[in-house]
Amino acid sequence: MRATVIYGAGDVRVETVPDPKLSEPTDALLRVVRSCICGSDLWPYGSMPARDRGVRIGHEFLGIVEAVGADVTTLKTGDLVVAPFVYSDNTCRFCLEGLHTSCLHGGNWGAKGVDGGQGEAVRVPQADGTLVKLPHTEDDDLLASLLTLSDVFSTGHHAAVRAGVNERTTVTVIGDGAVGLSAVLAAKRLGAERVILMGRHQARTDLGREFGATDVVAERGDEGIEKVRELTSGEGTHTVLECVGTKPAFEMGVGAVRPGGTVSRVGVPQYDEGPIGPSLFRRNITVTGGVAPARHYIPELLDDVVEGRYQPGKVFDRTIGLEEVPGGYRAMADREALKVLVKP
């Protein structure tokens, strides 16, 4: 089969790799019908040291079940399913607490002999616990929205949930990428009365307004913090959803949050140290967030997506074939595309 392999910074290739096979009785085999390129894929694309042997990549996909292992009981051949961005058994003590990303028997796509999601097919470990069955559809727009459940919409939702967003909450979202826009949509869904989106790309912030942003702040750094405070009578917002992962973004979040508020980080941190000293302590600021347990959230979000009440698939602004994936990476890295959908 054909699949995406990364060899180092800027070096993504589509190659012929071995066809996946059932290796454990808890496995399922999927034929991928939709996948995509994630903003977090751009970190290795921008900085991964060159290597002689490439590694598989991709962690967001929908598929049709082609075969199941002897112990799989909830899935059958022909089912349409969504795969969260990590696999999990959904039965260990962490999964039962809603923390599937810490599953005792889980793991990552593209690692330890497991296929990446940007390919024609995938072997799914812990299939009963990992995969969520979907209603069959051939509607491209609905499939795109269902695909966001695997990562970006669930991650935006996680940011809002961890921050405690509700109908009495004002929110600042930092970042106009796919996760940031999903966080705007999630905050709106949870009833936030005001959502300030910090972003400077008009096509993206326009979508942010469609998703529910009440204000847009294009400024960054101290100027951006001051603008948020101007919009909130000098106080800042109750919550900040930091969806970038850089230290300057976190610093803006700390500056934009009101006393007693919460900064929720879901952008993968690209730094080891940050402003967590006296400023946060004196203002009683909570810092939370982390890796989103998408498997926990998918059942909660699914009906709203299927019924069309929310359309997170609008974050996809380019669709390509599998062989075009290297160009898709370049387009996202050069900010020519917000998020690229792959249709094998």
In Å, how far from its chain's centre is CA 153? 6
By the 8 A CB rule, do 121 and 137 touch? no
Check residue 143 and give its pLDDT: 98
Looking at 2.60.420.10, 3.60.15.10, 3.40.640.10, 3.90.180.10, the CATH number of the domain 2-151+293-342 comes to 3.90.180.10
- Cα radius of gyration (the chain): 20
Calculate the average pLDDT of the chain. 97
For 272-281, the pLDDT digits (tens) are 988 888 989 9
For 77-102, the pLDDT digits (tens) are 999 999 999 999 999 999 999 999 99
Check residue 279 and give its pLDDT: 86
| Sequence letter at residue 16 | T
Check residue 264 and give its pLDDT: 98
Using CA atoms, how far apart are residues 175 and 204, in angstroms rounded to an integer? 10
By the 8 A CB rule, do 57 and 5 touch? yes
pLDDT higher than 90, residue 68: yes
Q: Where are the domains positioned within the chain?
A: 2-151+293-342, 155-289
Identify the band that residue 139 occupies on the pLDDT scale cut at 50, 70 and 90: very high
Percent of the chain with pLDDT over 70: 100
The overall longest dimension of the chain from CA atoms, in Å, is 61
Check residue 344 and give its pLDDT: 85
Check residue 274 and give its pLDDT: 86
CATH architecture of the domain covering 155-289: 3-Layer(aba) Sandwich (3.40)
DSSP character string of 278-342? HHHHHTT-EEEE-S--HHHHHHHHHHHHHTTS--GGGG--EEE-GGGHHHHHHHHHTTS-S-EEE
Check residue 55 and give its pLDDT: 96
Q: Cα angle at 93 between 90 and 99, to 5 degrees?
A: 65
